[in-house]
Amino acid sequence: LAQDAVQETIDRIQFYLNLYKLSEQQANEWLGSILKSKKLINEQKNELVDDKDRAIDHIEEVERKKKALERKIKKISSDPNKKKAGLADLNYSQENYAKNQLKLSANQSLKDYVRSAKTPEERRQREDEIRTLLNKYEQESTKTRALTSIIGVLLIGSIIGLIIYLVKRNKNK
């Protein structure tokens, strides 16, 4: 195939040499420009193929990320602990924490606080404020639980250590 293409090019050049009575230098220049054009066309074709491959890779990556996010959203929406808690679902300590932070009177409930808003926008703002306070409460209670667990483990460890120390001391006597 390559030899056929070369022979065809040579035959074409000889035809044009005879037809246009070109000099050998002009024919070589003409051949060079043809070869450069073919080379440029091939390079552009390769660049287009590379661009197409990069675009396909990017699309696949975006689809993978989209599916991962959809799985996370599905997980979160199906987890009852992750859903937004309604004001009626608050336990006593959560409600007291929010009341203390908002500095509400003892006889005023969070529901009354939200209902007393004059506009729907103000009502949403108050609900968001309460949710923010509840998130803060959850973070603090998580820290408290972790600290309590650490202190408990240390206490148990010190008691076990004291028992071992006393047993060894009694054996030595």
pLDDT, tens only, 114-143: 888 888 888 888 888 888 888 888 888 888
pTM: 0.40
Domain ranges of the chain: 2-80, 85-172
pLDDT of residue 56: 92
List the end-to-end C-alpha distance of the chain, in Å, as a whole number: 102
Supply the pLDDT for residue 77: 62
- What distance in Å separates the CA atoms of residue 114 and residue 25, rounded to the nearest whole number? 92
Q: Which of 88, 85, 93, 91 is nearest to 132 (CA)?
A: 85
Burial label, 104 (beta-carbon count in 10 A; 0-12, 13-18, 19+)? middle
State residue 74's pLDDT score.
76
